[in-house]
Structure 1
Amino acid sequence: MEISPAPRRSPVASVAELKAAIDVALQQIGDGQTAVQAAGEKLAEAQQTLAGALEGSGHETVEAAQASLTQASQELEECLAATLVAVEQAQLYVATL
């Protein structure tokens, strides 16, 4: 039985290749940020619609629904903040190349 040699590692990427890959990733992050912002806007609309439709209702399920939407909005904001940090860190790295 013949043993094949281990696959060769590809050479280290050039600085230009690294920068290009990071640029692609930053664009993808930007696309994700746009989607997160759009989702946040839709959640805000849903909260307003729900609040208007159920105004005056003191039922605990209505309050729970509103609380869940508020939490979802906050988590989207946290997500967006995390992506901003990721972009900043990637840009700092590119600056060192």
Structure 2
Amino acid sequence: MELMFSEYFQPGGFFFEVRKKNFSEAKSEEVVGAIKSIEVNNIDDAEWINIAKSIWDFPFFARMYRDRCVENGADEKKYDAFTMDLYQATERILRRA
């Protein structure tokens, strides 16, 4: 799972692109969908810790790049909805709910 998340920071990955002011709604949905697909009740503590360490700062990164992406033409409401979805999906994992 951790390798999958590292792909988002590689060239062409979601966070690599938003850092360059390129917001893709499809890629944002992919990130949120990957996090939502994690079944926290079906993983052991060690795996949960590794996943939590991998994703805990995703909402921070998304928020940090928001203004850059909006200035470059991203739809403000869609970006804000994405950041809220990402925050909620990440919080569910961190709370192990």
Place the TM-score, normalised by the shorter chain, in its bin: 0.3 to 0.5
Larger Rg: 1
**Larger RCO (alpha carbons 8 Å, 6+ apart):** 1
